[in-house]
Amino acid sequence: KDVEFEEMFKDFLEVDQKAQHLARSVDKFIAAQKAFAQASADLADDILDMYNNSASTEIKNLVVMLNHVSHNLSDQIRPPLDDTWSIHVQAPVHKMMERFKSIKEDEERRKRYLDDYDHYRHKKKTLEDDPKQDKVAAKLRETEGKLQEAGNKYFTMNERLSARLRIANERKGQMLNEPLLSIVEVQHTFFNEGWKEINKINTASRDDKIQKKVVEEARDL
């Protein structure tokens, strides 16, 4: 029983679960960002529809401005971010998931190689204990050859897989370095450009003419 390997693989399975959760979050984020931008545009459309033919010029201009800014965010600013997210965030994360999947597949192969190795070790021991050595000598040599082959396959796989597990367990964060930078870039672009757009409306809404018109029209309700 290889206790060290079993502990490493147990730790890896926890890393794999975290990676699966991360992959789902990565996919959900860009979908949520798209839904938010689209909801903003839809809201602006509905507001404009309510103001049609029933608003003063000052207020109507603000509503039209809100509609333009919302659609600019949804239709112009946000869509190019999809490619950045897909290429530089989703693809590396999904590649990491494929890497982890191959580790789990190798672990299954390792089990089979270990079973074969144990089988031939047991068979060799049985043949060695056989009192009729002259009759089992050929079978013993054949078994020794198969044992050596099975051992080479098992120990080679065990060494390679152990190295892969150490990297996955100890450097899991480093695998996300480049996607991390793109995550920051996409969020900065969306929020920074979005802020510039919405700030135009905020500034316009604080204009004295707008404020005065809102107060005047409230008296007529």
Q: What is the largest CA-CA distance in the chain?
A: 115
In the DSSP assignment, the letter for residue 55 is: S
| Residue 4: C-alpha distances to residues 148, 159, 166 (Å) | 23, 12, 11
In the DSSP assignment, the letter for residue 174 is: G
Instruction: Please say if the pLDDT value at position 58 is more than 90.
Output: no
| Residue 209: C-alpha distances to residues 12, 88, 195, 201, 213 (Å) | 63, 46, 23, 14, 6
Q: What is the pLDDT of residue 53?
A: 75
Q: What is the pLDDT of residue 55?
A: 65
pLDDT, tens only, 158-183: 999 999 999 999 999 999 999 999 99
What proportion of the chain, given as a percentage, has pLDDT over 90?
Answer: 76
> pLDDT band for position 212 (50/70/90)?
confident
Structure tokens at 158: 């065990």
Per the document, the length of the chain is: 221
CB 6 within 8 A of CB 107: no
Concatenate the DSSP letters of all residues of 75-127 into one string: IIISHHHHHHHIIIIIHHHHHHHHHHHHHHHHHHHHHHHHHHHHHHHHHHHHH
